Amino acid sequence: MMSRFSILLAALLLAAPVLAQQPQQAQPTAQQPANGNAQAAAPVQSQPPAQDQATAQLDQATKDLKRLSAAVDGARDDDNRLADIKVEVDAVGKRIIATSVATRPRLDEIKARLAELGDPPAEGAPPEADVVTQERKRLTAERGAINALTGNAENLSIQATKLSNSITAIRRDLFSNALFKHTDISWGMFGDAVGSISAEYQALSRSIGSWLTFAWNYKRFALLSSIFLSLCAAFVLVSGTRRLFYPLIRNKADVSEPGYITRLTVAFWSTMVPTLVMVVFSASSYFFLNTFNVLRSDIAPLILVTLGLGVVLVFVSQLARAVLSPREPAWRLVNVSDHGAALLFPAILAMAVVNGFDYFLATVSEVLSSPVVLTVARSFVATIVIGLILMAMALIRPMVPSPDEPQSRGKPWPRAISLSFVVTGGGLILAALSGYVGLGRFIATQIVITGAIFVTMYIGMLTGKAIAKQNALAGTIVGRYLERRFGMEQIALDQTGLAFGLGIYALVILFFVPLILLQWGFQIADIESWAYRFLTEIKIGSITISIVGIGAGILLFAIGYFVTGWFQRWLDGSVMARSRVDAGVRNSVKTGVG
């Protein structure tokens, strides 16, 4: 009895796994849909859900927008800080859009799968399989979640856009208020300003003296190392530019009667090269001083503005000398007399010095927290002086009948030019006397700096246009050097001249347009943002064009073109030539490969 029971129990234990598997294997068969559509019943392959990641990204974007909105409230009077915040807001907006776009492929998959499953059975129709119903419910719920996430992203994108626009409006109001702020001009104001000059001078002397003493006693090696490295950077740049641009800015004594293209080229590069050298020296000096922790918080702005003014003065003086050539009439670009050039050059330089000195003293007052009346009084005087210089320039008699008579007695300016000098100078004086000192100072700065930039751009454009003309480069110093050094023929020189002309156009636009924008109140962050948008997303209707993508495509095509040419030559010269293949066959193979 006991042995039979044991045998039966053992048999049941062995058969249990098999009996347990049979219902599980038979269950899918019992749940096949009535219409036999096995494809519709099969569940889609599950993918890693991206909704959680997208939700986390949108939550972070929400926090960032709240933080940036609070930062805007605390920086309503700081244009530089507002520009940086706007760049951050735009970056958050791009992240929000990217998060929303990333969910679209999955949403398209869900819509396609729901279309395959079809609508639920109508009332009275045979019921569908449970697996189909569950699949439809799951996909519908996921679609709703993605739609909700997309809606949230759209709302956040609108918030980011509104915040960015509000920052732009605040900055516009700041610029307008600073430009059109009215100040009461009175003798009492000047009395207060004169009383504050002595205190500011003493504070400046103490600040600079204490810094020099501290730097020499405790930062001597760092200070000397910064100066040495800055001088090395300037020396390297001077040597490199002299070697590279010597044919363009060579000694003028070598050419007695320069042509028009030569004069334009020398004027442009003799302005650009020293300016670039000064820019590199100033930037490297400030970088090394700041990196070696030599600067203090009250000295750094003064050093920065001093180096910047050095760049401006070098630029304006080199440009005026290149255009007027007071001592070398053969290289003069404008039709003025020797006496007129000798008077115009110091007048232009004086306006640049007065404007730069006023800007430097304004920075000193800001660093030392001097009374605002002192800054207003100094800007008032600077504006009046620049206005008087402009009106005095209208009295100069610089015009000559032809460039061949620079020593002849000059004639007055054309009426339009002299009238513009008088009106502009009188307008500056009237604006200052009316109390709009900020407006007068802004206009005076634009006359000096923006005027110099526009003149340089004009010279650069004329240079590029002249060099790009047919047979133009061959008659220049550079053209003769290329012909002698590399044996270039006329066609190659014309093509090189066209490339030089286009290169000068690009250089002028890329270098000077940002300078003009900076002069007109825009910040570096604004220019960086616009440049990024221009290079990555130019929108024409619903089409987005990427300059970077186009450039990469052109580069890829060029690489493929040269590699193909090399492979054709190798195949023809190294493979088919040794096989004694017929010339026609070789040409066909080369063409086919190309």
Q: How many CA atoms lie within 13 A of 203 on its CB side?
A: 16
Q: Token pair for residue 459?
A: 């010279």
SS (H, E, C) 271-284: HHHHHHHHHHHHHH
Read off the pLDDT band of 14 (50, 70, 90). very low
Q: Which segments within 22-113 are labelled E, that is strand?
A: none
Task: Tell which wins on pLDDT, 119 or 304.
Answer: 304
pLDDT value at 20 more than 80: no
> To the nearest whole percent, how much of the chain has pLDDT over 70?
81
Cα(263)–Cα(268) distance, rounded to whole angstroms?
A: 9
* Percent of the chain predicted with pLDDT > 90: 15
Structural tokens at position 159: 């918030």
Q: Which residue has the tokens 């063409």?
A: 591
User: Any residues with CB less than 8 A from the CB of 247 and at least 6 apart, and which?
Assistant: 477, 478, 481
Model confidence at 50, pLDDT cuts 50, 70, 90, reads low
> Where residue 63 falls among pLDDT bands split at 50, 70, 90?
very high
Q: What is the pLDDT of residues 444-465, one digit of tens each?
A: 888 888 888 888 888 888 888 8
**Which of 104-118, 558-572, 578-592: highest mean pLDDT?**
104-118
Q: Would you state the pLDDT for residue 104?
A: 85
pTM of the model: 0.66
139-153, 281-295, 311-325, 545-559: the lowest-pLDDT one:
545-559
- Give tens-digit pLDDT for 469-495: 887 777 776 777 777 877 778 888 888
Structure tokens at 189: 């104001």
Q: Does the pLDDT of residue 351 top 90, yes or no? A: yes
> Which of 33, 38, 244, 62 lies closest to 157, judged by CA?
62
CA distance 89 to 191: 46
Residue 402's pLDDT band (cuts 50, 70, 90): low
pLDDT at residue 575, rounded to an integer: 66
Q: Distances in Å between the alpha carbon of 187 and those of 83, 180, 194, 377? A: 38, 22, 11, 10
Buried b (16+ CB within 10 A) or exposed e, 202-230: ebbeebeeebeeebeeebeebbebbeebb
Place of tokens 């800055």: 230
What radius of gyration, in Å, describes the C-alpha atoms of the chain?
38
More confident residue, 526 or 85: 85
Name every residue whose Cβ is closer than 8 Å to that of residue 424 and which is 6 or more positions away in sequence. Answer: 387, 390, 443, 447
What tens digit of pLDDT does each residue of 500-531 get?
Answer: 888 888 888 888 888 888 777 777 766 776 77
User: What's the rounded mean pLDDT across residues 437-449?
Assistant: 88
For the chain, what is the mean pLDDT? 79
Higher pLDDT: 569 or 459? It is 459
pLDDT (tens digit per residue) in 200-244? 889 899 999 999 898 888 888 888 888 888 888 878 877 777 666
| Cα–Cα distances in angstroms (integers) from residue 327 to residues 348, 387, 497, in the given order | 16, 27, 30
Cα–Cα dist 67/79, whole Å: 18
Look at phi and psi of residue 78 and say left if phi exceeds 0, alpha if psi is from -120 to 50, else beta.
Answer: beta
| 38, two tokens | 């096995």
CA separation for the pair 384, 524 (Å, rounded): 31
Q: Rounded to an integer, what distance in angstroms lies between the CA atom of residue 196 and that of residue 184?
A: 18
E strand or H helix at 138: helix 130-179
The answer to whether the beta carbons of residues 567 and 545 sit under 8 Å apart is no
Measured CA to CA, the distance from residue 407 to residue 403 in angstroms comes to 9
The residue among 531 and 378 whose pLDDT is bigger is: 378
Question: Can you tell me the mean pLDDT for 583-594?
Answer: 73
Q: What is the pLDDT of residue 5?
A: 38
Helix (H, G, I), strand (E, B) or coil at 221: helix
pLDDT above 90 (res 419): yes
Contacts of 325 (CB under 8 A, 6+ apart): 331, 332, 333, 341
The mean per-residue pLDDT over the stretch 183-212 comes to 86
Question: What per-residue confidence (pLDDT) applies to 459?
Answer: 84
Q: What is the mean pLDDT of residues 391-419?
A: 80
Residue 191 sits at φ, ψ, to 5 deg, of -65, -45
- The predicted pLDDT at position 357 comes to 92
φ, ψ at 190 (rounded to 5°):
-70, -35
DSSP β-bridge partners for residue 545:
538
Q: What amino acid occupies position 190?
A: F
Maximum Cα–Cα distance for the chain, whole Å? 145
Is residue 302 scored above 60 in pLDDT? yes
Amino acid at site 261: I
State the pLDDT at residue 155. Answer: 92
pLDDT at 13: 38
Distance CA 156, CA 93 (A): 8
In terms of pLDDT, which residue wins out, 352 or 21? 352
pLDDT-derived band at 545, boundaries 50, 70, 90: low
Give CA separation, 551 vs 193, 332, 511, in Å: 57, 40, 20
CA dist 364 and 301 (Å) reads 8
Q: State the DSSP string of 16-45.
A: HHHHHHHHHHHHHHHT--TT--HHHHSPPP
Q: Who wins on pLDDT, 58 or 467?
A: 58
Return the amino acid letter for 319.
L
Q: Higher-confidence residue: 205 or 561?
A: 205
Q: Which of 116-130, 142-156, 318-332 has the lowest mean pLDDT?
A: 116-130
- Residue 31: both structure tokens together: 């749940």
CB 194 within 8 A of CB 376: no
Alpha carbon distance 86, 170 (integer Å): 11
Dist CA 580 CA 586 (whole Å):
9
Q: What average pLDDT does this structure show over 296-310?
A: 90
* In the predicted structure, residue 47 carries a pLDDT above the cut 60: no
Tell me which DSSP letter residue 333 carries.
Answer: S
**What's the rounded Cα separation, in Å, for the pair 446 and 435?**
19
User: Quick check: 37 pLDDT over 50?
Assistant: no
| 256 — pLDDT class (breaks 50, 70, 90) | low
Supply φ then ψ for residue 256, to 5 degrees: -85, -40
Q: What is the pLDDT of residue 1?
A: 40
Tokens coding 345: 């050059």
Task: Judge contact between 449 and 312, C-beta under 8 A.
Answer: yes
**In angstroms, rounded to a whole number, what is the distance separating the alpha carbons of residues 178 and 438?**
6
**572 DSSP 8-state letter:** I
